Amino acid sequence: MNARVVLALVLVALALWTAAGFLTALIWAAILAIALWPLYVRFAQRFGAGPTTLTALAFTLMVALVLIAPMSLAIYQIAQQGEALVSSLKKAGESGIEVPDWLARLPVAAESIEQWWRTNLSDPKAASEWLKTVSADNASDLFRTFGGQLLHRLFMMFFSLLALFVLLRHGRLIASRFLETCDRLFGEAGEGLVAKMVATTRGTVNGTVLVAVGEGLLIGVGYLVAGVPNAVVFTILTAAFAMIPFGAWVAFSAAALVLVSGGGSGLAAAGVFCWGSIVMLAGDHFVWPTLVGDSARLPFLLAFVGIFGGLAAFGLLGLFLGPVIMAALLTVWREWVFRPDVREQPG
C-alpha cells in the first residue's frame, strides 16, 4: 500500500513538472469552466438537446469573442495613433516640439511642466539629444520582445480556450470522477470541500465581472459629463480593464489625458480622474470584497485577505485562487477540525 502511495505521488509530481509551462493556462480554463458551467448548461438545453460537441464549441467561441473583443479594440486604438506618433518623433528631432496649448489648462503644476517642456523638448538640440535614447535599434529590440511575448500570450490563450472546450464537452464525466476521487481520499467531507471551492470560484468570478461592469458604467457617466472623446469606447475599455488590477486606473487616466490634449478643460480632466479614483477605491476595497465574501459565504476579513493576498502571492491568477484557498481553509476548520459537542437533550 505504501509503495502504491509513493508511486502515485511520484507520478503526480512528474506530471506537474512536465505540465509546468501550461499550468496557468489550465487553471484559467478550469476557473472559466466552473464559473460558466450553469450558463453553459442553459445554453446547451436551449439550442440543443444538452451538452454536445457542437454546443461546447459554440459556447467556447462566444467566450473567446468576449475575451478578445476588448483587447482588439485597445490594440486598434493604439495602432491608429502609431503613425501619428512616429511622425511626431521624426519632426521633433528636426525642429523640436512646441509647447501644446493644453498644458496651460492643467489644474496642477502647469507652469513647472511648461518650463520643463521648453527646456528639454522645444529646443531642437535638446529634443534631439533626448530622443537619441529611442534609437532604431532599441525600438527594434523592443518590438521584437513585445512581438514574442504577444505570440506567447496568444498561444497560451488559445490553449486555455482549447482546454475550456474539453472541460465543457466532458464536464459531467470529469466532475464525477473528481468527486469520486475526493470521496475515496477524504470521505464525505471531501465532497463538501469540493462543493465549497466550486461555489467560491463562481462567486469570485461573478462578483469580479459584476463589480467591473458597474465601475466601468459609473466612470463612463463621468466621461459623458466631462465630454471625453469616444466616451463609449473608453467606457467599454474601462469596464474590461477593471477586471485587471490597476487596469481601470490606466483607462480613465488615459481618458483624462485625451480630454485635456484635445482642447478640453483641465478642470474637467481632473474631475474625470478624481471620479474614477473614487469609484475604483470604493468598488475595489469595499464593494468587491463584500460581494465576493457574501457569494462565497466568507467573512469580510477573509475575503479581503484572500483577494489582495492572492494577488500579491500569485499575480492575476490569485484574484480567484485566494478566495478559494480561504474558503477551503474555512471549510476544513469548520467541518474537519472544529466539531462542537453534541449532547443528548434531556428527555
User: How many Å is the maximal CA-CA distance in the chain?
Assistant: 98
pLDDT score for 241: 83
Instruction: Say whether pLDDT at 219 is over 80.
Output: yes
DSSP 218-250: HHHHHHHHHT-TTHHHHHHHHHHHTTSTTHHHH
Instruction: Say whether pLDDT at 138 is over 90.
Output: no
Per-residue pLDDT, averaged over 121-149, amounts to: 58
Per-residue pLDDT, averaged over 298-320, amounts to: 79
> In which residue are the cell numbers 469606447 written?
233
Most confident stretch, 55-64, 141-150, 182-191: 55-64
Q: pLDDT tens for residues 147-185?
A: 566 677 778 888 999 999 999 999 888 888 888 877 777
Q: What is the DSSP letter of 99?
A: P
pTM, 2 dp = 0.64
Per-domain boundaries in the chain: 187-336
